[in-house]
Structure 1
Amino acid sequence: MEGTEALDPRFDVPLCGVSTDGETRCAHYASERDVIAVAFRCCGVYYPCRACHDALADHEAARWPPERFDEPAVLCGACRTTLTVAAYLGCDHVCPACGAAFNPGCARHADRYFVVD
């Protein structure tokens, strides 16, 4: 995994970010509901946002294709559950494991992480 020098030891998955807190909020997105991180397909490292990946990784970001939406790729920062892309995209902005509210504004940026229409 390239660009993983600053993995966050508070998490059981490889997570990097700019000024992340204990629930995956970062310097770019820090509202109460910004509690997810996405494992980028290119490296398998979870980042709270595309800006964190761009700032810390030494490679171009790659998006998840639809044929891989059944793989775990989204981390709930509130309960540390990993979700498949399909589960995340279909959860109506609420973690199915713990009920934590996810930022509904993230749907506007889904195409940065997933190949969606």
Structure 2
Amino acid sequence: MLQAQGLLVDDESRCVHYHSDKDIVALQCYECQKYYACYQCHNVLESHIFSPYPLNLKQDKPILCGSCKKTLTYEEYREKGSCSYCAALFNPACQSHHSYYFK
């Protein structure tokens, strides 16, 4: 089962930086292909900075739901604001960090 990496990550992918009830999304770094709770955790723990995922790779699944551990495409993530599999709500404020995670 996939698990998000990061600093003080709980069972649903919350980390020391983002830990509200809806902060349950982990995102995949394009360079190392690891799922991290946030770009800040990644940048502390890896030897390279977080590399945004190209949006033209439509079939790839760079989002990990911390609730059910299923991976989602970018379209699935953006479509409803919740997980397509378990209906867990995602934090809408994460869109303010779009440029860190996607290009």
- Give the TM-score band, short-chain normalised: over 0.9
Q: Provide the C-alpha distance between the structure 2 equivalents of 1:15 and 1:38, rounded to a whole number of angstroms.
A: 8
CA deviations 1:54-112 (Å, max 9, x no partner) are 11111122111121132011010011111012211223x11111110110000111111
State the TM-score, normalized to the length of structure 1. Answer: 0.82
Q: Provide the C-alpha distance between the structure 2 equivalents of 1:14 and 1:48, rounded to a whole number of angstroms.
A: 9
CA deviations 1:15-55 (Å, max 9, x no partner) are 31000000000000000000010011010100011111111
Unaligned runs of 5+ in 1: 1-11
- Secondary structure of 1:54's aligned partner: helix
Report if the CA contact (8 A) 1:70-1:86 is conserved. Answer: no
Query: May I ask how many residue pairs the two structures share in their alignment?
Result: 103
Unaligned runs of 5+ in 2: none
Structure with the bigger RCO (C-alpha within 8 Å, sep 6+) is 2
The residue that corresponds to 2:63 in the other structure is: 74
Q: Provide the C-alpha distance between the structure 2 equivalents of 1:77 and 1:106, rounded to a whole number of angstroms.
A: 14
Two-structure CA RMSD over aligned residues (Å): 1.2
Rg comparison, structure with higher value: 1
Identity of aligned residues (%): 36
The residue that corresponds to 1:9 in the other structure is: none
